[in-house]
Structure 1
Amino acid sequence: MKISSNFDAGSIEIVSMESFDDIQLRIPHDNASDFAQWFYFRLQGAAYQACTLRFLNAGECAYPEGWTDYELMASYDRINWFRVPAHFDGQTMTVEHVPLANSVYYAYFEPYSHEQHLNLLGQAQGSGLCQIHDLGFTVQGRDINLLTIGHEVESDLKIWVTARQHPGETMAEWFVEGFLNRLLDPLDATSRALLDKATFYVVPNMNPDGSILGNLRTNAAGANLNREWLAPSQETSPEVLVVRNKMLETGVDLFLDIHGDEKLPYVFVAGTEGVPSYDERIRQLEDKFKHYLMVANPDFQDEFGYDKDAPGSANLSLATNWVGENFKCLAFTLEMPFKDNANLPDDDYGWNGQRSLRMGEAALTPIYAVINELR
């Protein structure tokens, strides 16, 4: 029996593995911070053995509530992922599984590798409708790439989409893949109509360093990028700095920041009701957007989500609040679950990459619904 995690986004700490029925593990912290929740590792040599995996420090992780009603993800080929039941007693998460092959992977959520990320960029550019722009470097020197889709004329509306500020929230890049698939489809009437009026700016992965390092929430310098928007620095949050500078150059008429939530088993959005400039126009745009997203994809709902900020109390270091306030525009944080969607549960797959991708495709419909009212 062997456990390894020395690969892209791999992360686990082995405590003991003396027998198949007592594999003891710990979930590591992000490389430069105290956040711990993401894991991804490979188990070999355990085919047809009744394995019991115990994550000893689950109760000490960043979001212990995230383990309640949670099922971890497993795959034999890293393409097809399925759910494995887990039990959480408040401190230890226990998983019992009989692998059907000698090599099996376990992960907190379906990964989206850096190789997939690079392939996504190449496929988008190959459509002939998209340009790749280099915005700069991450802390560890990786590329920060922006996809620009549209005519880039001054009269165009400017629509921005960012994903994976928190690198372990891989469902966000699955969302972007679906979003781009539809936006770059020349036979999709909604896409063609949108591109007649708007230029889209898409950052599929805001945090490549954290993604490769196997971090849940921070970049290589230990910065939570979604708390850096008021005062990003070249030293600790260059990813936010370069994206923010580009936004100031282009302007923003609509902004979607794509995330995953550890605790809530729903798809939902958080708006900008707490920023000083929030007004009735933005509220009506929010309501219309949410209505049409529910129509486009019933996985979305608006009953459960975060508590709304009181007027004037928003934290402007968050991307959605900073963008919404600075550009007086419609701005949303869109959250998808690490668990299943409790409204439309799937016992085999839970919430996964493909459902996130479909949500990305669906997002074009509410954008089209509000496009003529954004200015």
Structure 2
Amino acid sequence: MIRINTAFDSGNIDVIEASSSDNIRLTIRKDHQSDFYQWFHYKLFAEVGEEHVMIIENAGKSAYPDGWKDYQALASYDRDTWFRVPTEYDGEKLTIRHTPEQESVYYAYFVPYSYERHLDLIQQAQQSVDCYHELLGETLDGRELNLLIIGEPSDGKNTIWITARQHPGESMAEWLMEGLIGRLLDDEDGVARKLLDENVFYVVPNMNPDGSVRGHLRTNAVGTNLNREWAEPSLEKSPEVFYVLKRMQETGVDMFLDVHGDEALPYNFVAGCEGIPSYDERHKHLEETFKNALLAATPEFQDAFGYEKDEPGKANMTVACSAVGERFKCLSYTLEMPFKDNADLPDEDFGWSSTRSQRLGEDVLTAILAVSPILRKV
């Protein structure tokens, strides 16, 4: 008996046919009120020891079809350990082949980060004396938009904002946040203690909880791409950005890091805001200091591959990195991680993983420590 279920947090797949194990035909649902789709997450009940061939028929028309090249889907029996399974892409269809060893197995585009885990992360963080939990507002589906303020605010400290998961299918972003927050709240970690002596962190672990729960790739509850709303956010379309930007205006911003995942590129990299009107040598020096420190901190990061840099004055000012960098004249970066693997350090069994994302989050703090003394220097 073959059964496929998606009635859970971030579930997404539609079944065309599942009458035989060698021809399970599926399609990914589009984000609500949007044409974006790529995220999938479903549970299979199947015969143990029998190969199951699952064909996602609309993969070739997804948001980022290049993301399927050299991609291997993830599977898990316990929803804790996720491993890669044989996956092929022919330019139109994505075929996943797997022989289950247990009665049921989950499959996903990347390791899911559940809303329940998000709530646990927030509640655990607020147990620290160094952390204050603030409710910024509610999303369109009525969920909380949570902010963690880590460190004691004061005029002499740098204000560092870190946001993640504007695009909900990029779940590696919240895994990175979990690692970063965990280290920052470790009072026996010297890097964390030094950082909190000189900086206060404003951390939004999940900018898009509605899209996360709905199983969206890129948009919120009404099909809005939040990372194109930073010029003029609205309560009707993008309250998540509206509330965050409003709070930023109250605190000021000395450094901004917006965490994402990239479907196609098998590397960790950053994208700056060279194209904003106010970009200058100071800004460039801050960027180089951060990048060089992260390169020294971990071999998981590199600067050879990434996005093409914007020409001067040609930045998209609706994107968070550019909008915040220009508004606050601050160091502003987008940090990207792969859905596939880090080609510089490949792992055949797990690829880029939740654990590696967490470790990168820890290492990011080392890079912030290196750049923080010069964030306010003219």
What is the CA–CA distance in structure 2 between the aligned matches of 1:19 and 1:128, rounded to whole Å? Answer: 56
What is the CA–CA distance in structure 2 between the aligned matches of 1:212 and 1:126, rounded to whole Å? Answer: 25
Deviations 1:257-281 (A, max 9, x none): 0000000000000001000000001
Matches within 5 A, 1:140-219: 140-219=141-220
**What does residue 119 of structure 2 align with?**
118
Q: Judge conservation of contact 1:70–1:85 (CA < 8 Å) in 2.
A: no
What is the CA–CA distance in structure 1 between the aligned matches of 2:70 and 2:274, rounded to whole Å? Answer: 31
What is the CA–CA distance in structure 2 between the aligned matches of 1:204 and 1:373, rounded to whole Å? Answer: 26
How far off its partner does 1:46 sit? 2.6
Which amino acid is 1:361 matched to?
E
Deviations 1:344-372 (A, max 9, x none): 00000000111000000000111110111
Q: Judge conservation of contact 2:12–2:42 (CA < 8 Å) in 1.
A: yes
> Is structure 2 residue 249 aligned with structure 1 residue 258?
no
Structure 1: 5+ residue stretches without partners: none
> Is structure 2 residue 316 aligned with structure 1 residue 322?
no
Which amino acid is 1:84 matched to?
V
What is the CA–CA distance in structure 1 between the aligned matches of 2:136 and 2:63, rounded to whole Å? Answer: 31
Matches within 5 A, 1:346-357: 346-357=347-358
Three-state SS of the structure 2 residue aligned to 1:24 is: strand
Three-state SS of the structure 2 residue aligned to 1:121 is: helix
> Is structure 2 residue 40 aligned with structure 1 residue 39?
yes
How far off its partner does 1:58 sit? 0.5
Matches within 5 A, 1:4-153: 4-153=5-154
User: TM-score, normalised on structure 1?
Assistant: 0.99
Task: Give the count of matched residue pairs.
Answer: 375
**What does residue 313 of structure 1 align with?**
314
What is the CA–CA distance in structure 2 between the aligned matches of 1:357 and 1:134, rounded to whole Å? Answer: 24
Matches within 5 A, 1:282-293: 282-293=283-294
Q: Judge conservation of contact 2:130–2:152 (CA < 8 Å) in 1.
A: no
Three-state SS of the structure 1 residue aligned to 2:180 is: helix
User: TM-score, normalised on structure 2?
Assistant: 0.99
Q: Judge conservation of contact 1:74–1:84 (CA < 8 Å) in 2.
A: yes
What is the CA–CA distance in structure 2 between the aligned matches of 1:64 and 1:47, rounded to whole Å? Answer: 31
What is the CA–CA distance in structure 1 between the aligned matches of 2:303 and 2:62, rounded to whole Å? Answer: 28
Q: Judge conservation of contact 2:164–2:207 (CA < 8 Å) in 1.
A: yes
How far off its partner does 1:166 sit? 0.2
What is the CA–CA distance in structure 2 between the aligned matches of 1:282 and 1:139, rounded to whole Å? Answer: 36
> Is structure 2 residue 227 aligned with structure 1 residue 229?
no
How far off its partner does 1:126 sit? 1.1
How far off its partner does 1:96 sit? 1.1
Three-state SS of the structure 1 residue aligned to 2:350 is: coil
> Is structure 2 residue 260 aligned with structure 1 residue 240?
no
Deviations 1:285-310 (A, max 9, x none): 11111111011111100000000000
Which amino acid is 2:64 matched to?
Y
What is the CA–CA distance in structure 2 between the aligned matches of 1:105 and 1:46, rounded to whole Å? Answer: 14
How far off its partner does 1:152 sit? 1.0
Which amino acid is 1:230 matched to?
A
What is the CA–CA distance in structure 2 between the aligned matches of 1:47 and 1:123, rounded to whole Å? Answer: 38
How far off its partner does 1:320 sit? 0.5
What is the CA–CA distance in structure 1 between the aligned matches of 2:157 and 2:316, rounded to whole Å? Answer: 30
Which amino acid is 1:168 matched to?
G
Structure 2: 5+ residue stretches without partners: none
How far off its partner does 1:155 sit? 1.8
What is the CA–CA distance in structure 1 between the aligned matches of 2:87 and 2:164, rounded to whole Å? Answer: 28
What is the CA–CA distance in structure 2 between the aligned matches of 1:177 and 1:297, rounded to whole Å? Answer: 18
How far off its partner does 1:128 sit? 2.0
Which amino acid is 1:241 matched to?
F
Which amino acid is 2:356 matched to?
R
Three-state SS of the structure 2 residue aligned to 1:343 is: coil
What is the CA–CA distance in structure 2 between the aligned matches of 1:46 and 1:307, rounded to whole Å? Answer: 47
How far off its partner does 1:45 sit? 2.6
**What does residue 369 of structure 1 align with?**
370
